């Protein structure tokens, strides 16, 4: 059986003579219950060069305890970035080979390299539960006595405490951690037993200089987006909410940042990476459109079915019969299935893995790759944003010229894309420029959202016309009603975007 869970825990190191203090009453708990002693054996798997560990992930086969099986742990964000997504294959006698679906979930980190045992950990776990007055478990506190065996190295042993949130809130977790720190525990050097066993307690990358130059800011931003791309690969495969959207955003941010700061890179490298990111973004876009338009169609369909007022509304309700609704739903499901299958095939392709390798090479070092001597001088932090703001203004002038024509929607879409690029440029330099860049990015996001809603209507109308071409006669009225609900004014969208852009210009005059 496969399960998923978000895990929020804190690891602490403790000296040999340390004992667990009395935690009754801490964080509003009523009692501390002894949850027994468990003997665990975990074999950790990784590539020969430890790509999972470098990618902030671990994969283990555990026996003993309350959750034997295969466990893949991955970053899941959270308030302080320490939440973990744990995907489990629970089994009393876990199979020796890595389950195929876990191999796929780890592929964005392993890049297809083989997985093999790297560490065996034997743990004696003393578990305690902090219970609320109603008996529910708020927090689990475990004291682990760990013995690690790494092939070809001396054995290692240590003690550590894990504090994991159960049914309580983060304030309870913090209160327990504070009490343990006061008793002599210390913050762990890293989040993983595997890292400690291998002598790499915290996955690290070459640091950006402090204070950061513009090049340093760009590198840090690119690194964050590469990490987001890899992390959301897993979310897409698990079909979690917004996984496709967030992966597509990371792809766009990478492509946009490479364009804005192209003078800092070899032009052939920029052209290659942007072309590959565009290809990936297109596949992601088709899946995202299927998600959004499918949800929109079904929502509009449900709204029409509920209309019972007099006149047209009554006729709309009468024409939304179960057969027609089912026909639309089947087309929505089929479009999503096709788009998802194409996306998963892309994520399993050599082309995609090669792109990840190239992006990782770009951000792995302490600085951006040297630009060619003949390249123009790069723009500074403020200049890069100012340049992209001018692009937005040019696009708005083109949209103004296209008002009232068949090209108006296309021109507004170009404004939206230019606003996104300006927003990402401001986000990249915000750590140096400060609140001014943050306000500007928010204004550009407003322009982007306003025109995004308009573009959704444009795409939905086109999809409805496609459906009308293959639908039965009895569906024509319904599709027409849905098309009418998707009608939006190019002029209204233009005026709203113009107002938002004027506000943004005050924060970043050119």
Give me the residue label for tokens 């999972």: 52
User: DSSP string covering 180-226, please?
Assistant: HHHTT-EE-SSS-HHHHHTT--S---PPPPSS--HHHHHHHHHHHHH
Under 8 Å between Cβ of 250 and 355:
no
Task: Return the CATH superfamily for domain 2-197.
Answer: Hypothetical Protein Pfu-838710-001 (2.40.320.10)
| Residue 116: burial class (beta carbons within 10 Å; 0-12, 13-18, 19+) | exposed
Q: What is the pLDDT of residue 96?
A: 86
The whole-angstrom separation of Cα 109 and Cα 356 is 9
Q: What is the pLDDT of residue 284?
A: 97
Q: What is the pLDDT of residue 121?
A: 96
User: DSSP string covering 227-248, please?
Assistant: HHHHHHHHHHHTT-TTHHHHHH
Q: What is the pLDDT of residue 93?
A: 83
Torsion of CA 106, 107, 108, 114, to 10 degrees: 100
Give me the residue label for tokens 């389950």: 99
SS3 breakdown of the chain: % helix, strand, coil, rounded to 5?
Answer: 55, 15, 30
Q: What is the pLDDT of residue 312?
A: 47
Widest Cα–Cα separation across the chain: 84
The whole-angstrom separation of Cα 51 and Cα 55 is 6
Measured between alpha carbons, how far apart are the two ends of the chain, in Å? 58
- Omega within 30 of 0 (cis) for the link into 497: no
207-367: CATH, from 3.40.50, 1.20.120, 2.40.50, 1.10.3430: 1.20.120
Q: What is the pLDDT of residue 475?
A: 66
User: Given strand 137-149, what is the order of strands in its sheet?
Assistant: 2-7, 84-90, 69-75, 58-63, 31-46, 116-131, 137-149, 156-165, 9-13, 186-187
- Residue pLDDT, tens place only, 175-204: 999 999 999 999 987 778 898 899 876 555
**Segment-wise mean pLDDT, segments of 10 residues, the chain, 510 residues:** 86 92 92 95 95 93 91 83 85 87 95 95 96 94 95 92 91 95 90 86 62 86 95 94 94 96 90 97 94 81 60 49 71 90 97 96 84 69 88 94 93 95 93 89 93 89 78 64 76 91 68
Dihedral sign, CA of 373, 431, 278, 352? positive
């Amino acid at each position: 059986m496969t399960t998923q869970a978000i895990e929020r825990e804190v690891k602490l190191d403790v000296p040999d003579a340390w004992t667990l203090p009395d935690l009754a009453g801490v964080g509003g708990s009523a009692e501390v219950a002894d949850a027994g002693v468990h003997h665990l054996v975990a074999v950790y798997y990784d590539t020969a060069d430890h790509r999972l560990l470098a990618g902030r992930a671990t994969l283990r086969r555990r026996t003993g305890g309350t959750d034997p099986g295969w466990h893949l742990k991955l970053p899941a964000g959270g308030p302080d970035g320490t939440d973990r997504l744990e995907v489990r294959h629970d089994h009393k006698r876990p199979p020796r080979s890595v389950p195929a679906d876990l191999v796929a979930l780890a592929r964005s980190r392993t890049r297809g390299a083989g997985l093999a045992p790297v560490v065996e950990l034997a743990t004696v776990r003393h578990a305690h539960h902090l219970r609320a007055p109603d008996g529910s478990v708020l927090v689990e506190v475990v004291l682990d006595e760990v013995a690690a065996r790494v092939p070809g190295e001396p054995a290692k042993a240590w003690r550590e405490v894990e504090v994991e949130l159960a049914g309580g809130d983060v304030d309870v977790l913090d209160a327990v951690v504070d009490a343990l720190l006061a008793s002599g525990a210390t913050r762990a050097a890293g989040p993983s037993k595997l890292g400690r066993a291998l002598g790499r307690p915290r996955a690290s990358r070459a640091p950006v200089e402090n204070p950061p130059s513009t090049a340093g800011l760009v590198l840090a931003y690119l690194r964050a987006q590469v990490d987001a791309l890899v992390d959301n690969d897993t979310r897409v495969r698990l079909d979690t909410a917004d996984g496709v959207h967030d992966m597509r955003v990371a792809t766009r941010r990478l492509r946009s940042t490479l364009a804005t700061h192209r003078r800092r890179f070899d032009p052939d490298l920029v052209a290659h990476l942007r072309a590959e990111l565009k290809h990936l973004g297109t596949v992601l876009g088709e899946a995202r459109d299927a998600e959004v338009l499918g949800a929109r169609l079904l929502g509009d369909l449900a709204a029409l079915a509920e209309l019972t007022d007099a006149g047209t509304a009554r006729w709309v309700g009468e024409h939304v019969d179960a057969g027609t609704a089912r026909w639309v739903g089947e087309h929505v499901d089929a479009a999503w299935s096709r788009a998802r299958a194409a996306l998963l095939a892309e994520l399993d392709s050599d082309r995609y893995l090669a792109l990840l390798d190239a992006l990782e090479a770009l951000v792995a070092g302490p600085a951006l790759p040297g630009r060619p001597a003949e390249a123009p001088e790069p723009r500074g932090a403020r200049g890069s944003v100012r340049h992209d703001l001018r692009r937005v203004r040019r696009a708005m002038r083109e949209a103004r010229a296209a008002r009232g024509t068949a090209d108006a929607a296309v021109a507004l879409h170009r404004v939206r894309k230019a606003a996104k690029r300006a927003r990402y440029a401001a986000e990249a330099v915000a750590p140096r420029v400060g609140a001014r860049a943050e306000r500007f990015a928010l204004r550009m996001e407003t322009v982007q959202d306003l025109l995004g809603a308009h573009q959704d209507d444009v795409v939905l109308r086109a999809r409805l016309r496609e459906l009308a071409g293959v639908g039965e006669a009895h569906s024509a009225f319904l599709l027409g009603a849905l098309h009418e609900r998707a009608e939006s004014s190019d002029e209204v969208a233009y005026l709203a975007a113009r107002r938002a852009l004027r506000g943004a210009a005050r924060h970043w005059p050119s």
